[in-house]
């Protein structure tokens, strides 16, 4: 649930890739074992390791992501928002440049927010200008 500017709560369902579903199921079973078989809706999927019932911080999420990039020697800069940008580009490419469908998949209302996250390739833009 997310509370918008008008104070109204909104939510949406997003399908998970089958590999993500399988991994999440394993992780939830592990959490269920730690919680003596009971998971309540307030259970954080990625909680702080200090024993407190709080989610990991955005800094800790970046550390985990950075460690994965380093381990697998992935090129480029790493940031948590990079994942959103990659998702936006993949949906945009899948729909052959349509902006409205990525906007819907992205869960963003302003189209400008979606456009900002599309890392458009300068070479592609230049080629399209020359072809016009």
Q: Could you tell me the CA-to-CA distances from 119 to 37, 80, 106, 113 in Å, in that order?
A: 44, 15, 14, 12
List phi, psi (to 5°) of 55. -75, 165
- pLDDT, tens digit, 9 for 90 and up, residues 80-125: 888 878 888 888 888 888 878 777 777 766 777 777 777 666 777 7
Contact 27, 36 (CB under 8 A): no
Query: Average pLDDT for residues 59-72, to the nearest whole number?
Result: 91
HSE value, Cβ hemisphere, 13 Å, CA-based, for 66: 8
At residue 109, the pLDDT reads 67
At residue 67, the pLDDT reads 93
What number of residues does the chain have? 132
- pLDDT, tens digit, 9 for 90 and up, residues 15-29: 888 999 999 999 888
When the pLDDT of each residue in the chain is averaged and rounded to a whole number, the result is 80
Q: How many CB atoms lie within 10 A of CB 115?
A: 15
The residue among 2 and 14 whose pLDDT is bigger is: 14
Q: Is the pLDDT of residue 128 over 60?
A: yes
For the whole model, what pTM was predicted?
0.61
């Amino acid at each position: 649930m997310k509370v918008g500017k008008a104070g109204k709560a909104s939510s949406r369902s997003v399908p998970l890739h089958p590999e993500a579903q399988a991994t999440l199921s394993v992780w939830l079973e592990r959490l269920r074992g730690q919680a003596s078989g009971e998971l309540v809706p307030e259970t954080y999927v990625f909680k702080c390791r200090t024993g407190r019932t709080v989610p990991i911080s955005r800094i800790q999420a970046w550390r985990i992501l950075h460690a994965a990039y380093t381990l697998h020697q992935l090129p480029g800069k790493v940031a948590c928002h990079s994942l959103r940008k990659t998702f936006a580009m993949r949906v945009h490419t899948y729909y052959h440049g349509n902006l409205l469908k990525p906007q819907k998949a992205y869960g963003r209302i302003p189209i400008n927010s979606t456009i900002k996250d599309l890392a458009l390739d300068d070479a592609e833009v230049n080629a399209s200008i020359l072809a016009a």
